[in-house]
Amino acid sequence: MSSLISRRLIGGVFRFGHLRSLHSSSVWSGKVVQFKLSDIGEGIAEVQLKEWHVKTGDRVSQFDNLCDVQSDKASVTITSRYDGVIKRLYYKVDDVAPVGKALVDIELEGEGEDSAESADDDKSAQSAATDKSKKADGGKSSDEHETSSSFALHSGKVLATPAVRRIAMENKIKLGEVSGSGKNGRVMKEDVLRFLGHIGPAETTSKASDQPRPAFTPLSGQDKTIPIRGYTRIMMKTMTQANTIPHFGYNDEVVVNRLIDLRAQLKKLASEKGTKMSYMPLFIKAASLALTQYPVLNASLDSSLENITYKSAHNICVAMDTPGGLVVPNIKHCEQRNLWEIALELNRLQEAGKRQQLDRNDLADGTFTLSNIGAIGGTYASPVIFPPQVAIGALGKIEVHPRYDNHMQIYPAHIVKVSWAADHRVIDGATMARFSNLWKEYLENPALMIAEMR
């Protein structure tokens, strides 16, 4: 069961590389196995090395963690499949490891020259590794073995180097309690020292001068240039692509007084269902119902700009603000899910996003996007399409404003502003406006939405 789950989550992303007839002076005197990052699929060309769990000379056993890597699609921990000694690490933390290149060399324990086949070509070496794996797990397919034994999802632990962990351990402090100032919340040495009170907050200096003149001194250290990594790297690539799309914008406001009543009722029941019910599941379901009538908005444009594919599934992406930056997982088949099912899946994705544990299936195959920037603040936004999709909506914060009712009486209206953007090469303004009107109708009259749910 677990191997099947692993395979689905990881999808055989990485494979071991070839065995080489290298020899070493270590006590094992064994054959050296070189791990390579081979074809990851889905166009992924590289991963970022997040953390090493081993160093050269360490002895490792099967299933020991070797390192954490972040691909465009997921965070994974790479585990050893062999007993042996680490001979070489090919990358430093934060390096980008390209697909097809070696990651680590392990000198195998108890594999002397006699037992080692000379296997300089990938094919024979791959089968040697497979034979070994079959023996180890009772004859599973190599595919199953590779995915189940080589990888585990990111453990979600605090990011820190072994040196920082050691300082924390020696001082008996929990790293989770230290606020990390590094990339993606990584806990740095200074953070631990500051936590221990060994250094003060970032110091500021000022110079007294008789001559009044503007004197600007840096508040905290020097400028620093850091490589763009992780979710931000994905955002950089996707948004660069999006910049080629001519965006059409359309804004409106939706009165959600009735929706607020409905949500309040559902919220009370949510804990019994083991979830929480925010407004998002309602916004998402209304979008799915409206997409059923305007399928051109749930579509993708091919790179040659020759074809548009109407997607049968409503895999609605939700922009998420996470400690690692913006990430956009999707809820599969919203057209088939009820509100509880959408809420459960949203909660799962939100929790996984917080821990940067989203797997690549969560991030793949989205067909339409909603961005609830109002969870943070603001009214209108200018959302940017997530290619190859053709439309996106951004929601502002629900606020109370005075509005007139049908009898020209002022009443307190709870209003959410929506900002749509559509790919104007294939979507015209009238279609976007009609879709938005229908979505708005569902939210202003939730009874109508419920009536249309299957």
Question: Smallest gap, in angstroms, from Cβ of residue 348 to ligand COA?
Answer: 11
Question: Which residues between 342 and 361 bind ligand COA (CB under 6 A)?
Answer: 346, 350
Closer residue to ligand COA (CB): 178 or 280: 280
Considering 121, 131, 302, 428, which one is annotated as catalytic?
428
Choose the stretch contacting ligand COA; rule: CB under 6 A; options: 88-96, 159-167, 297-305, 366-374: 366-374
| 428 classed as catalytic | yes
**Residue 318 binds ligand COA (CB under 6 A):** yes
Question: Which residues between 12 and 31 bind ligand COA (CB under 6 A)?
Answer: none
**Residue 374 binds ligand COA (CB under 6 A):** yes
**Residue 234 binds ligand COA (CB under 6 A):** no
Question: Which residues between 40 and 99 bind ligand COA (CB under 6 A)?
Answer: none
Q: Out of 280, 301, 331, 344, point to the residue binding ligand COA (CB under 6 A).
A: 280
Choose the stretch contacting ligand COA; rule: CB under 6 A; options: 75-83, 225-233, 275-283, 284-292: 275-283
Specify whether the CB–CB gap between 31 and 108 falls below 8 A: yes
Closer residue to ligand COA (CB): 75 or 350: 350
Tokens 């692993």, located at residue: 6
Token digits of residue 421: 């953007």
> Residue 116 and residue 19: Cα distance in Å, rounded?
9
**Residue 373 binds ligand COA (CB under 6 A):** yes
Number of residues that bind ligand COA (CB under 6 A): 20
Closer residue to ligand COA (CB): 167 or 317: 317
**Residue 397 binds ligand COA (CB under 6 A):** yes
Specify whether the CB–CB gap between 129 and 34 falls below 8 A: no
What does each C-alpha distance from 6 to 83, 127, 144, 147, 204 come to in angstroms? 22, 21, 9, 6, 50
Q: Which residues of 153-166 are buried (b: 16+ CB within 10 A; e: fewer)?
A: bbeeebbbbeebbe
Binding site for ligand COA (CB under 6 A): 276, 278-280, 318-321, 326, 346, 350, 371-376, 395, 397-398
- Active site (catalytic) residues: 424, 428
